Structure 1
Amino acid sequence: MINPASVVVDKFLECTVLGSFSRVGYATRSRLESWIDPPSMASQRVVITGATSGLGFEAAARLAALGASVTFVARDESRARSTVNALQSRSQNERIEYILGDTSDLADMRRVAQCVTARGTLDVLIHNAGAITAARTLSPQGFEVTLAAQLLGPFHLTRLLLPVLTGAKPGRVLTVSSGGLYSQHFDLATLEMSSDNYDGVAAYAKVKRAQLVLNHEWVHHVSPRDVVFHAMHPGWADTPGLAASLPKFYSLARPWLRTPAQGADTLVWLAGARETSRTTGDFWLDRHPRFEHKVPWTRTRDPERDQAELWDWCVERTEQY
């Protein structure tokens, strides 16, 4: 039964960015709504990117503690091995492994997909890898690396894994976005920033907005009986990535930042809760679907057209790999 007071408080918090995105929002909502963990995931397989630190590590640890078999994608073998040991020790679950791969490398994503497919049905695919890149660099295929790692690579991997995700009836594809997307409108023409005007924070926010556009478009290509798609943002969480990429903001906001566990909570819930298998195409924070625009100038005139054009753009750039 829904607590009327919690609804009022939630709406109030959502109107104030500080109240909603900070640890205050998490603590208030979780207490008022008496959140509980998802049920056992002992029979399920999860693949997650970006799990060697921060939110990804926390999510992988909690999913493993729920009993899931967890495979994470990592670039560095030494770090991957130490992550396996840390996850196994914390979760008391031995069914944790890694596949080496770089999400910005489309050829790597095909190889990762082949490894995952060889193991059979996949229940949950989590796209978590992502960072703000200060200087413009290129992926192995020549795309700006933020765009490649957080949009093209995940898109390519998802398409390749659809056959094994469909076997879960439904599989789940979850994308970790960022509150930074609220500062950007979607514009395909300026999505890949050039060296002339490159700004790492803006490039990151543009890609995060594009992730939501694709999250909606997937619904037109895959039946929710087969695979459901959700995006979420963790609020402001205290992670190594935030400290390194936005040091001034980190210093100012640190007293208000969520713990990695608080930031990862909705991601874990989306992966395992029964009710989240019944909807698709939503954008979540703190276990509730959220509006995707906070200011009018981030809206576009024809969202459906934006979605279709971005889909075609991604297909054109990935299908040869």
Structure 2
Amino acid sequence: MSDFKVLTYTSKDYKIWNDFLDASKNGTFLCHRDFMEYHKDRFQDQSYLIFKKDKLVAIFPANKSNHILYSHQGLTYGGLIVSKETSFKTVLKAFKSLLETLQSSGIEELILKPSPRMYHTHPSDEMEYLLFKLQAELIRKDLTLAIDTSQPIKITASNRKRGLKKAIKQGLIIKEETDLDLFWNQILIPNLVEKHGVTPVHTLEEITYLKTKFPNKIRQFSVYKDNEIVAGTTVFETGKVAHAQYISANNLKQELGSLDMLFHHLINEVYKDKAYFDFGVCSENSGKQINSGLQSWKESFGASSISHDFYSVFPKNHILLNDVLI
């Protein structure tokens, strides 16, 4: 009889889930129940807790649609989240138990999107090996652009430096704000609608709610000229990474150098002690194409490409894990 049991998350597990997440080596606040549940009306949550005897050893944020289980579609990443002390053997048996449970409950496919390595506080590649053994199919690969702050930062475009000089000359001021209304309503939403015909993933009401729940992890930095907002970014801050979730500026960004000044300040001052500054993805069409202009712009700050992989796993393939340990 297995020492492992897999339980479906319910509201009574709120505290044990979040406490485990906070002590994990590959989870971030995006997998906190308060973050996951702001859009609970859009997804059929089917998250799991995995125990070895009576000890919680892994959690799996997920939602269900028909006979497919997804690494939660409302999150950028997720996957199997484990503690710093969890051994490879425990990860193996925990994930195998999860797959067995999925198969017995009628789940035919698992779409998995593990968190990129830069978000791990400790090495956590156990799942990379298990996915290889399970003959998982790589179905999507996004590219995100990030700066490794432990290395000398090389600004590759001279116009970044010129932009910073312009911003200083123009007397621009950077403010950290608790209120996101001005950035959302005057900069971000108008830009996205005009240029792409879309609105932000988060509504103003949603991002405001999330900021009240995570005031030190969701931060708003705005740029002003003569008391008028001209640019800004909303940053999601995790243990090792500062991620620019939203970036936008008005039509005078080239003349003012507003974004050049903003990111120079964030990278070299506010987040200089973070391991990475993440500018976000530049891939489109489910990872099949790269927005070359966006890629070049982010690279010009000294950022380099980091992949974010998505996998398809068939739960029935759990038998392929039987011979891993010898």
* Length-normalised TM-score, structure 1: 0.29
Higher helix proportion: 1
- Choose between structure 1 and 2 for higher RCO, CA contacts under 8 A separated by at least 6 residues: 2
* Length-normalised TM-score, structure 2: 0.28
User: Which has the larger Rg?
Assistant: 2
Higher strand proportion: 2
